[in-house]
Amino acid sequence: MEITRSARRRNAVLALAHGVRPWIAVGTALRLLVLACYLAQGYLLATVLGGLLVGRGIAEQTGPLVWLAVLVGVRALLLWTCSVVAQLTGARTTELLRARAFGKLAELGPVHLTGARTGELREALVDGVESLERYYGSYLPALIAGLVAPVSVVVLLAVQDVGLAALVA
């Protein structure tokens, strides 16, 4: 079985994440907590609306409404923390990858650099590292949370109504 070029490239990119995997894990966990807040908010909102439809007044909905407000605040704090962790992940990625690249250049020595084009080196050391910075800091945690989201919604619906969960799935 031959490994495709894109699979090799993907494995190489993930291998470069060696020093930032804990940061990626924290960013992913925070994104999943944000997802949990969204799901809980939807559930509480449905509870309040359902109560209103069966004749319970707003005064009787105080508990779920308070929890809804708390979740909005928690979600805002989590989103801010996600942003901070993404920036820290990006900074750590830049630091590690540039240190590795410059270490390799120092190992190769000045003779290797005499034939190299400065534009290619700049592209690899600056543009390449910056694209991985965004990939590890923002894209990868959001991708994982985005893949978990639909499954979570279907599971939450299945607890309430199996037919509706099957329809949504």
∠ CA 156-160-161, rounded to 5°: 110
Which residues, other chains included, contact 74 with Cβ-Cβ below 8 Å and sequence gap of 6+?
Answer: 37
Residue 51 predicted with pLDDT over 80: yes
Residue 3 predicted with pLDDT over 70: no
| Res. 12 pLDDT band, cuts 50 70 90 | low
> Which pLDDT score is estimated for 116?
58
CB 153: neighbour CB atoms within 10 A? 17
Say how many CA atoms lie within 13 Å of 45 toward its Cβ: 9
Q: Which of residues 135 and 32 earns the better pLDDT score?
A: 32
What average pLDDT does range 115-124 have in this prediction? 65
Which residues, other chains included, contact 123 with Cβ-Cβ below 8 Å and sequence gap of 6+?
Answer: none
| Res. 9 pLDDT band, cuts 50 70 90 | low
Q: What is the pTM of this model?
A: 0.76
Which residues, other chains included, contact 81 with Cβ-Cβ below 8 Å and sequence gap of 6+?
Answer: 30
